[in-house]
Structure 1
Amino acid sequence: MKRIYIVAYLVLVMQGLFFTSCRKEHEYKKYFGDGEILYAGRADTVIVHPGDERMLLSVVLGNDPLVTKVKAFWNDGKDSIVKAVTPEMIKSTVDLMIEDLAEGTYNFTVFTYDNKNNPSVVRYVSGTVYGSVYSSNLVNRRLKGITYNTDGSMVNISWAHGNPDEVGIELLYTDKDGNSKTRMIPQKEVLTGLSEYDGNTKLKYRTIFKPDPNAIDTYTMDYVEVGLPVFERTLDKSKFNVHILPTDATTAHGWVMPNMWKDDGGASSFATINGTLQWFTFDTGVSTSITRFKTWQASDRLYNQENLKRFEIWGSNAPAADGSWASWTKLGTFESKKPSGSPVGTNTAGDVAYANAGEDFSLPPGSPKVRYIRIKGLEIWGSGNFTVLGEITLWTSDR
């Protein structure tokens, strides 16, 4: 029985070899007709390099010294390209550049030929040609946001995740010395930090795509131009201090001035002694140009009683010791708003949400640098006879 099995197996193997040989012979006859089959040395490898409406075939030759040319066919043998091979090119690579191809997938048959024009056994390769259909679906990678670190020494650019075909992003910017800089952002990078940049200039970026690792062409998007946001940082409240001058209102009711920088949204507040049109002073600890500030009302009396409604902000670097106004510069007059406009004592949910979030106020551009802040009350929301301020936060663009 074992002999029968072995014989049957050998018959199957011989049939496979026969059909393979017939197939090769058929492929040969398809291109070269009948006759005695003599083969040139076949190419070792054919590497396909896709391109933009073109294809590069890199044919790695074997060691047959009689090979004189390489030829590739496509479009069912209707189209072809040929390149001569000299003896010194044996065991090297011959490139066949095929131009003016329509976008799509192509099957190639590649032969080498000897000095008697005998072809080799065929090499089959296939590849995709890219073009306008592919490129029309490409877009620049999305820039999610631009932020600064706490002191403004670095700008951080946040990107969406890159397309798998993306080579990277070409980023152009200007450094602090006015020099143009180029930086390549890798496909997997989603956060880019720039430490040397001119904040008054714009960034430009574009995404570069490569549809295949072996591709000979890349696709580059148009530049996108974005401006850097204005840098701002909050003033460090740990440096704030009470600075009471002779004409200033002092603390009353146990609501001390440092409550204004406790970052509790007005839960604990500052209150002055009884009086009208009062002012008070505090030291920020550093001379800066204030760009904006935010205030919170005392949360237990929103839009009511002694909460500030209209007020002035003044600044100085060297307040007069007698508390006079000669050394102060007025930075602006401001008024708190109530979204609903409802009467005192009636607050909507929107009013409460707005007050609890804090109210933003901007100072005019180019405001002078000041270290000391004086707040002068002009009007309160209710009918009280002193002034209350829940909390204050200050911002500057100074680095």
Structure 2
Amino acid sequence: MQMKNIYFIMIVFAVGYFSSCKEMDSTYEEFIVLNGINYPQRADSLKIYSGFNRVKITWQKAIDPKVVRARIYWNNYTDSINVDIPSDKNIISVDIDGLTEGTYTFYVMTFDLEDNVSVPSEITATTYGEKYALGLDNRGIINALRDESEGKINWSNATTGMVYSEIRYKTNSGNTNIVRTLADESSVVCSDIKRKEYFEYRSVFLPKGGLDSIKLDWKTFETPFLYKYPKTGWTVEAKGGNHPWPEGGGGQSYLVVDNNLSTLWHSNTSFSVPHCLVIDMLESQPIFRLDIYRHPTYRYAQTIRIYLSDTKVVPDVYQTSWGAPVVEGVFIGTNVNLPLEFPSVETTGRYLIVYFPDSFSPPYMNCAEIDAYGF
């Protein structure tokens, strides 16, 4: 009985031994060819990442213990780099710098101590560089407005590859502050801005899957933050008054400063062009820009001429005492808003004269709103 137990134990041991040997053989059998030549394990799970005139190539460390180094070839095997395989890392990572902008195919081959070489692993990528950067542009700014304490920038749509934009501006204490806005954000607030100071902006790009971001040069915006003057208490007179609609029917001249684009002044139908509005801003204001709005359907307004005066003016046909117009412009097509920028930031006056010398539908004229901006 005892002898039978011994035979049974020996049989179990033998089965386990040969089973383990078979598993070990299967682990390495992919690296051995029938004719006896050893082929090191090829680079597995190969990945590549594009950068600015460079790439990063990674792969899984070989489980074949005989693999000790690798070599990466490109440019039809005319360029190459040696890679030592560290024993303490599971992922092999190689940076290849100094590439010109373009598409490359890389071949990774592994070697053992006897310099047996593996079958190549192939991967392709496209680098980016100066040509790509030259096609980029900073995100557009729709406007940059401020109130008494902070500024707000409204952005145009972000372009492909843009990740964020930055604003650099001066604070009231004289320090420089930088705020960042992401590509999916349409505006950004800048606190504690210093009045009348120009600010800078730039955008940062990162191609999809790219390694290196590209920061464009800082660009100075065309104006400081604009301040929209509050129109509380402003009064408006019109040449000939307004359209004689019944009370409550609208059309009065003060409606051009009521902060409501759905209301409007309409000229008195008994008076033909030229038409004129005089706005009393209560005090002399430095004006840099005006926004003139007309009715979106009845677009009578055509040419606009602007005059400023510090003495009271009666709305009338042009008077030589007004001098030359500070600025003028023409509504084009179906545009509802006509922005007029003054040639000098030092242009000041209390009385704003808005002169309409002609009309697309004489004798009629209307104006929905007038906004004035300074710094």
Q: Structure 1 length as normaliser, TM-score?
A: 0.52
Q: CA deviation at 1:66?
A: 3.0
For 2:311, the aligned partner's letter is: G
CA offsets, 1:81-113, max 9 Å, x none?
112123223x13332x32332321111111222
Structure 1 CA distance for aligned equivalents of residues 60 and 138 of structure 2: 37
Q: CA deviation at 1:228?
A: 2.3
**1:1-399 to 2 correspondences below 5 Å:** 37-89=37-89, 91-95=90-94, 97-148=95-146, 151-213=147-209, 215-226=210-221, 227-236=223-232, 264-266=250-252, 299=268, 302=271, 332-336=311-315, 338=317
Change over 3 Å in CA distance of 1:183–1:42 after alignment to 2: farther
CA offsets, 1:200-250, max 9 Å, x none?
22221112222232x23332222211122431232335xx99xxxxxxxxx
CA offsets, 1:10-55, max 9 Å, x none?
xxxxxxxxxxxxxx99xxxxxxxxx854232333333312223322
Q: What SS class does the counterpart of residue 135 from structure 1 fall into?
A: helix
Structure 2 CA distance for aligned equivalents of residues 311 and 60 of structure 1: 76
Q: CA deviation at 1:398?
A: 10
Please say if residues 42 and 111 of structure 1, whose CA atoms lie closer than 8 Å, have aligned partners that are also in contact: yes
Structure 2 CA distance for aligned equivalents of residues 40 and 47 of structure 1: 19
Q: What SS class does the counterpart of residue 198 from structure 1 fall into?
A: coil
How many percent identity over aligned positions?
21
Please say if residues 312 and 334 of structure 1, whose CA atoms lie closer than 8 Å, have aligned partners that are also in contact: no
Please list every run of 5 or more consecutive structure 2 residues that lacks an aligned counterpart in the other structure.
1-29, 236-240, 242-247, 256-263, 284-308, 321-329, 331-336, 352-366
Please say if residues 50 and 212 of structure 1, whose CA atoms lie closer than 8 Å, have aligned partners that are also in contact: no
**Highest CA radius of gyration, 1 or 2?**
1
Give the number of aligned pairs. Answer: 263
Structure 1 CA distance for aligned equivalents of residues 169 and 39 of structure 2: 60
Please say if residues 181 and 187 of structure 2, whose CA atoms lie closer than 8 Å, have aligned partners that are also in contact: no
Q: CA deviation at 1:394?
A: 10
Q: CA deviation at 1:169?
A: 1.2
Structure 1 CA distance for aligned equivalents of residues 167 and 191 of structure 2: 14
Q: What SS class does the counterpart of residue 107 from structure 1 fall into?
A: strand
Please say if residues 40 and 118 of structure 1, whose CA atoms lie closer than 8 Å, have aligned partners that are also in contact: yes
Structure 2 CA distance for aligned equivalents of residues 168 and 76 of structure 1: 38
Paired position in structure 2 for 1:289: none
Q: CA deviation at 1:69?
A: 1.2
Change over 3 Å in CA distance of 1:88–1:138 after alignment to 2: same
Structure 2 CA distance for aligned equivalents of residues 154 and 47 of structure 1: 47
Q: What SS class does the counterpart of residue 333 from structure 1 fall into?
A: coil
Change over 3 Å in CA distance of 1:264–1:109 after alignment to 2: same
Q: What SS class does the counterpart of residue 88 from structure 2 fall into?
A: helix
Please say if residues 266 and 299 of structure 1, whose CA atoms lie closer than 8 Å, have aligned partners that are also in contact: no
Structure 2 CA distance for aligned equivalents of residues 186 and 311 of structure 1: 41
Q: CA deviation at 1:337?
A: 5.2
Q: CA deviation at 1:189?
A: 1.9
Please say if residues 43 and 61 of structure 1, whose CA atoms lie closer than 8 Å, have aligned partners that are also in contact: yes
Structure 1 CA distance for aligned equivalents of residues 278 and 163 of structure 2: 57
Q: What SS class does the counterpart of residue 176 from structure 1 fall into?
A: coil
Please say if residues 56 and 93 of structure 2, whose CA atoms lie closer than 8 Å, have aligned partners that are also in contact: no
Please say if residues 52 and 130 of structure 1, whose CA atoms lie closer than 8 Å, have aligned partners that are also in contact: yes
Q: CA deviation at 1:128?
A: 0.3
Please say if residues 48 and 55 of structure 2, whose CA atoms lie closer than 8 Å, have aligned partners that are also in contact: yes
For 1:100, the aligned partner's letter is: G
Change over 3 Å in CA distance of 1:161–1:78 after alignment to 2: same
Please say if residues 53 and 102 of structure 1, whose CA atoms lie closer than 8 Å, have aligned partners that are also in contact: yes
Change over 3 Å in CA distance of 1:49–1:365 after alignment to 2: same
Structure 1 CA distance for aligned equivalents of residues 79 and 58 of structure 2: 18
For 1:165, the aligned partner's letter is: G
Structure 2 CA distance for aligned equivalents of residues 76 and 225 of structure 1: 46
Q: Structure 2 length as normaliser, TM-score?
A: 0.55
CA RMSD of aligned residues (A): 4.7
Q: What SS class does the counterpart of residue 334 from structure 1 fall into?
A: coil
